Structure 1
Amino acid sequence: MIQLTNLSKSFGGQTLFKNLNLKVTAHQKIGLIGRNGTGKSTLFKLILGEESYDEGEISIPKNYRIGTLRQHLEFSKPTVEEECAQVLPEDEQYNFYKIEKILFGLGFTAEDLQKDPLSFSGGYQIRINLAKLLATEPNMLLLDEPTNYLDLLSLRWLKQFIRDFDGEVILITHDREFMDAVTTHTMGIQRKGLFMVQGGTKKYYETLALQDETYEKTRLNQEKKRKELEEFIARNKARASTAALAQSKVKILEKMEEMDELESESSLSFRFNYKETPAKILFRAEDLGFGYDPEHPLFEHLTFALENGKTLAIIGKNGKGKSTLLNYIAGELPQQQGTLSFHPATAMVHFGQTNIERLNTKHTIIDEITSVDKKIGMAEVRAICGTMMFSGELADKKIEVLSGGERSRVMLGKIIATPANLLLLDEPTNHLDMQSIDSLCDAIDSFEGSTIMVTHSEMLLRRLADALIIFHKGGAEYFEGSYDDFLEKIGWEEEEGTVKPKKQKPKLDKKERKKRRTAIIEEKAREAKPSRDEIKFCEKRLEELEVLEEEQNSALEAASNSADNSAMIEHSKAVAETQTEIENLFERLEVATEALEEINAKYDEKLAELE
């Protein structure tokens, strides 16, 4: 297993991490999270030996193979099968069965194996690279955004592959649902070090919040103590009778560790600009059909209606026509078959990959937001820029210097500036980090109008979709119901026979269920009692000590003012003892709270199994 010891790395005077430590144990699957720019991808490069680190050590056992998914596309063989087989050891060069099994899992057909790798779309070329990685049978996988460019079926296959992988994994992805489904631990680069918990992202952020709260209380307590020492020294250093005592306080002050204020990270938080409409149905699609080749339409005979307030998700494999359908509804393609009937009050905005490419690279962010409507005042434009995390001078940056994620936020800003009751969103989560995706999800969820979105995110589908258009079986089909309804009632034909049937649990009658529920609740109460008692004791004692500390500080100040040396020494000692007890209690409180959370989670799972 690999081990990182006191690893430090800086770029251009900026410290990414310092004295970072990590030990990966057998079969750990770790999700690495953090805002863009915190050093996640750099950490991978250090482990792979592609970047040098400033200080520390990376220990990798002999013959331990680390594989990584390459985003750079470079192919040298005439067929997909030969391209992938070349990574095999020399004595296995013609073991095509091994290669075929992986390629079929990634969505390739038998015919595809003999095609030129360069004849495939970018998404499928990424999959070829993934197949080459998996064929090398590495001990550890370092996966940096492996979900990029993969469609739903490939994501579901990759999810199961990572779960079954008999080795270690460190995964970077902004897809929270995907990460939580495949990882055993979650870690993030926090305050230039690594912080890791066992469990998913929810547990990580809850634990981090508790640690931050404890840290802030300790920092404020230390700040108060530092101020008292400084005031004491200032009052007494000039007096001959108290100079020695003041000097001893100087030594205590010098030994006190500096605790910096926690930096708060900027977060995307916004609402779409809803335009009122009396419409119950925003538009109807009757017998729609379209294709770039008249003999092979991407979809045909597609009929559906969209109610105001509903979210329709378009899903399916890459290259089948999802974005084309969205562009067709947006009026960006010539009508071929059927009719689209919009209510007169329908006002739509379109977020698509082609729209992002149309951003004027010579414009500033402010220019782009202003271009939506010249009537928008500069104060409102600045407010929208701030909402999209471009506050102050950042709003004056030119589009040409922005990353993909930043350009996506500019496009979202333009949509916010436009009053609408119909959102057309094509892969809106691409390039956004995890917190920004959560904010986008919240904004769509609270939007009073309707949304049509193309997405491969099962998290978005499960949370937002009221109905679906599924590209499968050579066409497009409208489905009234949730994504889970679709999986249960229809499912992907490519997955037929590959999904293990769920074990049927014996049904419990109401009386037996109630009896078992009561037993579980009683067991939970017994196990949780020591932790609850500990938390109650710590909280009560902390309240008492806060009052006591104020009294002791007042007594110390009075002794100082009256130059009573013996009393000052006595009260100083008492204050120090009280502060030590407070710090110990905060540590006990944190341990007890974490233990209680684990107990609650364990018994919540048991109760859920009864349903």
Structure 2
Amino acid sequence: MTTCSEYIKTTFPLIDDDLKQYVEDVLENGADDFENSEEVFEAVGEVLQEISKDKSENDIRHICENLLNMLKPEQTNGTTTSGSRILNAPVHLGSMVANSENNVEEVKSIWLMQRDDSLKVDARKLEKAQAKLQGKQEKRSKDPKMIATPKLETATASQVTSKKENKLEAKGMNKTQDIKIENFDIAYGDKVLLRNADVLLAFGRRYGLVGRNGLGKSTLLRMIAGGQLQIPSHFSILHVEQEVIGDDTLALDSVLQCDYVRENLLKREKEINASINSGVSDPNLSVELSEIYSHLQTIEADKAPAKASIILSGLGFTSLMQQKPTKTFSGGWRMRLALARALFSRPDLLLLDEPTNMLDIKAIIWLENYLQNWPTTLLVVSHDRHFLETVPTDILHLHTQRIDSYRGNYEQFEKTKTEKLKNQQREYEAQMAHRSHVQEFIDKFRYNANRAASVQSKIKMLEKLPELKPVEKEVEVTLKFPDTESLSPPILQLNEVSFKYNSDRVIFSNVNLGATMDSRICIVGDNGAGKTTLLKIIMGLLSPSSGVCHVHRNLKFGYFSQHHVDQLDMNINSVELLQQAFPGKSSEEYRRQLGSFGVSGDLALQLVASLSGGQKSRVAFARMCMGHPNFLVLDEPTNHLDIETIEALGKAITKFTGGVILVSHDERLIRMVCKELWICGNGSVKSIEGGFDEYRKRVEQELESSQNK
């Protein structure tokens, strides 16, 4: 194969390594079976043709004949063809679109990737060649060493850009403050997420991006941040996705370092002062130092530490925590640091993906208030309904491979969308009735000579009517927890329970609370107050330092936490995941269980790693309920779930015949299901009267008090 490999590389110098390996594998596996060059052409000809558009079919056949001669030097076959055409320069689709006003329809999109996509091959065109290999691969697949690890698909984007905007961008004259991303597609493997979509982000407005799990909201944010979708280069973009790296940098300094102008000025100030103190007498240094001081005063550099401290405090960092190195914080707190850095740096376009997931209710309320005065453009993906009703000025609705824009918050969006769908349905039904009436006339008098002109007129009128499509309604999300049998009380009782770690830091003490099979208990409190610790004591995963936790002997807990989603085996599909956890059942039973949580059809057979965060959560719910629990303990179950699924979760909890204890920061869910509210904090856990309204009132008073200090 060495000779063939070199020949392919020489003949197709721009061939992708993966495609080159594919062609070599086809030739290697079929070497014994190829009878003539025609069979070689059938196996790899279409692939080679796609790689090199400048070569004719005869050129490719000639290349296939040479390959056969290298595979079977003793065999000569057919006649050779000559006259290969070689272009004197590469053809690039991007420049074709940029320099032509009339070929947008011909060149549908420009792939904004690092590789030249003119070298890519459509997977469907490989089917014929792949079928040729299938028999060989089945034999080789029996060897465990030859079984390849499943390969995850990656997201790709394509976009048509206008000649005018390209010229302005090239000259550096594009100074617009609004961001227009027009006529773009996004795909994930073979699945098209967006087609011919348009997004307009007006400067100073706050956009909430909503839509069902798995439709591509997070992917769209990554495409914008990563440059796969083209926007004017003078915009600064910050996408809060990854946590801050843990090192010796103090939390406060980590935030201040985002102001690069201030940091560079302070660094240069130190260098100049060091030079002057060492005896350097350069008058230019004194002039530069004066300019630096003036610039620092202009940007109010002295106020920066106070501004950074306010942001950190709002996100839950105490004064002591702000002076700790970033490496001392957990992943959740480092995500808060990343959010603090973004808020402090104030980019032209801030992209936030589920910012409330890592926050407690107090920090969420602070963030809602802070973002209402955000000075630049904000695009946020969130499934927290109260957040979406408080922060956005506009809603972008992603559905059916398109994005619709609505003015107002989420509540206004829902009203407008509902009315819009009703109007579309009425218009569709009216047109269908009109079409039916006209068609009856045509059918009745089609062969009546006296009515021929009238019939022809009706036919032309039908042809001119705009073709309306029926309204596509999104499938309603349903979740169903298993039915349980009632247990006689007492079910669950905490008597004088206390807990402290080895450091003697008391988390809570003297807890006296209980639960029944009818309980719908919601636990709230600041992060680190001991909510998850309390849940683990209830389930027997931790032992209290003192006191007793009484649990009914037939009580069977179903425990869900956000960490369970992260700990799913990503390299198998959802059916196999349930099969591993609960072996011995039929495939239909596993699929039925997944279907009751909205994971059905082909979705159940996809790799878990390829699922969205919300879809993974549903799989985790399905696995939890395979054990038929009669008491649910749910720790932050709404993370990554879309609004419709959160609504379905609330309904499922309400209908569940067992008990429920829930830790959540989602105000909508708490209000839907909560019958009793436990507040965890200040070294205690207490049930309060007045429910969530009373708790929110206390938090707002606490925030107002801290801001006035």
CA spacing shift, 1:84–1:149, aligned 2, 3 Å: same
CA distance, structure 1, for counterparts of residue 634 and residue 406 of structure 2? 34
CA spacing shift, 1:398–1:352, aligned 2, 3 Å: same
**Residue in structure 1 matched with residue 686 of structure 2 by the alignment:** 478
TM-superposed deviation, 1:364 = 4.1
**Residue in structure 2 matched with residue 37 of structure 1 by the alignment:** 214
CA distance, structure 2, for counterparts of residue 459 and residue 360 of structure 1? 31
TM-superposed deviation, 1:277 = 2.0
TM-superposed deviation, 1:432 = 1.0
**Residue in structure 1 matched with residue 413 of structure 2 by the alignment:** 204
CA spacing shift, 1:43–1:403, aligned 2, 3 Å: closer
Q: Is 1:22 matched up with 2:200?
A: yes
CA spacing shift, 1:391–1:63, aligned 2, 3 Å: closer
How is 1:98-109 mapped onto 2 (pairs within 5 angstroms)? 98-109=307-318
Q: What is the one-letter code of the residue matched to 1:279?
A: S
CA spacing shift, 1:185–1:402, aligned 2, 3 Å: closer
Describe the superposition over 1:315-348 as per-residue Cα deviations: whole angstroms up to 9, x where unpaired: 2233443222212222223454321112344332
Mean Cα deviation higher: 357-366 or 266-275: 357-366
Q: Secondary structure at the match of 1:211?
A: helix
CA spacing shift, 1:493–1:107, aligned 2, 3 Å: farther
1:4 aligned to which of 180, 183, 208: 180
CA spacing shift, 1:329–1:264, aligned 2, 3 Å: same
CA RMSD of aligned residues (A): 3.6
CA distance, structure 1, for counterparts of residue 203 and residue 564 of structure 2? 45
CA spacing shift, 1:378–1:197, aligned 2, 3 Å: same
Contact 1:312/1:468 (8 A) holds in 2: yes
CA spacing shift, 1:496–1:369, aligned 2, 3 Å: same
TM-superposed deviation, 1:178 = 1.5
TM-superposed deviation, 1:89 = 4.5
CA spacing shift, 1:325–1:228, aligned 2, 3 Å: same
Contact 1:426/1:453 (8 A) holds in 2: yes
Q: Secondary structure at the match of 2:340?
A: helix
**Residue in structure 1 matched with residue 258 of structure 2 by the alignment:** 87
**Residue in structure 2 matched with residue 591 of structure 1 by the alignment:** none
Mean Cα deviation higher: 192-201 or 222-231: 222-231
**Residue in structure 2 matched with residue 495 of structure 1 by the alignment:** 703
TM-superposed deviation, 1:150 = 1.6
CA spacing shift, 1:231–1:45, aligned 2, 3 Å: farther
**Residue in structure 1 matched with residue 337 of structure 2 by the alignment:** 128
Q: Secondary structure at the match of 1:277?
A: coil
CA spacing shift, 1:32–1:13, aligned 2, 3 Å: closer
Describe the superposition over 1:33-70 as per-residue Cα deviations: whole angstroms up to 9, x where unpaired: 111233433444565572226xxxx6x6x976554434
Q: Is 1:159 matched up with 2:159?
A: no
How is 1:138-537 mapped onto 2 (pairs within 5 angstroms)? 138=347, 140-226=349-435, 251-293=460-502, 295-334=504-543, 336-357=545-566, 359-361=568-570, 364-369=573-578, 381-473=590-682, 475-481=683-689, 482-488=691-697, 491=699, 495=703, 497-498=705-706
Mean Cα deviation higher: 166-175 or 394-403: 394-403
CA distance, structure 1, for counterparts of residue 571 and residue 316 of structure 2? 40
**Residue in structure 2 matched with residue 533 of structure 1 by the alignment:** none
CA distance, structure 2, for counterparts of residue 197 and residue 135 of structure 1? 29
**Where does the alignment leave 5 or more consecutive residues of structure 2 unmatched?**
1-176, 267-300
Q: Secondary structure at the match of 1:36?
A: coil
Q: Secondary structure at the match of 2:358?
A: coil
TM-superposed deviation, 1:369 = 4.3
Contact 1:273/1:418 (8 A) holds in 2: no
CA distance, structure 2, for counterparts of residue 98 and residue 296 of structure 1? 31
Contact 2:633/2:661 (8 A) holds in 1: yes
TM-superposed deviation, 1:161 = 0.5
Q: What is the one-letter code of the residue matched to 1:342?
A: V
CA spacing shift, 1:152–1:256, aligned 2, 3 Å: same
Contact 1:469/1:476 (8 A) holds in 2: no
Describe the superposition over 1:145-188 as per-residue Cα deviations: whole angstroms up to 9, x where unpaired: 11121222221211111123344433210111121122333331
Contact 1:271/1:416 (8 A) holds in 2: no
Describe the superposition over 1:453-501 as per-residue Cα deviations: whole angstroms up to 9, x where unpaired: 121222233333333443322x23222331322344x54896361478x
CA spacing shift, 1:17–1:68, aligned 2, 3 Å: same
Describe the superposition over 1:421-442 as per-residue Cα deviations: whole angstroms up to 9, x where unpaired: 3210011111211110111112
Q: What is the one-letter code of the residue matched to 1:152?
A: I
CA spacing shift, 1:333–1:23, aligned 2, 3 Å: closer
**Residue in structure 1 matched with residue 128 of structure 2 by the alignment:** none
Q: Secondary structure at the match of 2:479?
A: coil
Q: What is the one-letter code of the residue matched to 2:655?
A: S
**Residue in structure 1 matched with residue 280 of structure 2 by the alignment:** none
Contact 1:42/1:51 (8 A) holds in 2: no
**Residue in structure 2 matched with residue 52 of structure 1 by the alignment:** 229
CA distance, structure 2, for counterparts of residue 354 and residue 257 of structure 1? 51
For normalisation by structure 1, the TM-score amounts to 0.70
Contact 1:76/1:83 (8 A) holds in 2: no
Q: What is the one-letter code of the residue matched to 1:22?
A: L
CA distance, structure 1, for counterparts of residue 336 and residue 191 of structure 2? 37
Contact 2:214/2:611 (8 A) holds in 1: no
CA distance, structure 2, for counterparts of residue 376 and residue 480 of structure 1? 45
Q: Secondary structure at the match of 1:284?
A: strand
CA distance, structure 2, for counterparts of residue 297 and residue 375 of structure 1? 45
TM-superposed deviation, 1:353 = 3.4
CA spacing shift, 1:476–1:190, aligned 2, 3 Å: same
**Residue in structure 2 matched with residue 115 of structure 1 by the alignment:** 324
Q: What is the one-letter code of the residue matched to 2:346?
A: E
CA distance, structure 2, for counterparts of residue 454 and residue 485 of structure 1? 17
CA distance, structure 1, for counterparts of residue 247 and residue 672 of structure 2? 43
CA spacing shift, 1:320–1:493, aligned 2, 3 Å: farther
Q: What is the one-letter code of the residue matched to 1:7?
A: N
Q: What is the one-letter code of the residue matched to 2:353?
A: D
Contact 2:492/2:551 (8 A) holds in 1: yes
Describe the superposition over 1:509-544 as per-residue Cα deviations: whole angstroms up to 9, x where unpaired: xxxxxxxxxxxxxxxxxxxxxxxxxxxxxxxxxxxx
CA distance, structure 2, for counterparts of residue 139 and residue 169 of structure 1? 8
Contact 1:277/1:346 (8 A) holds in 2: no
Q: What is the one-letter code of the residue matched to 1:495?
A: L
Q: What is the one-letter code of the residue matched to 2:422?
A: E
Count of aligned positions: 492
Contact 2:213/2:613 (8 A) holds in 1: no
CA distance, structure 2, for counterparts of residue 270 and residue 292 of structure 1? 38
TM-superposed deviation, 1:236 = 7.5
For normalisation by structure 2, the TM-score amounts to 0.61
Q: Secondary structure at the match of 1:288?
A: strand
TM-superposed deviation, 1:312 = 2.1
Q: Is 1:71 matched up with 2:242?
A: yes
CA distance, structure 1, for counterparts of residue 332 and residue 596 of structure 2? 32
CA distance, structure 2, for counterparts of residue 408 and residue 257 of structure 1? 43
TM-superposed deviation, 1:284 = 0.5
TM-superposed deviation, 1:374 = 6.7
Q: What is the one-letter code of the residue matched to 1:480?
A: I
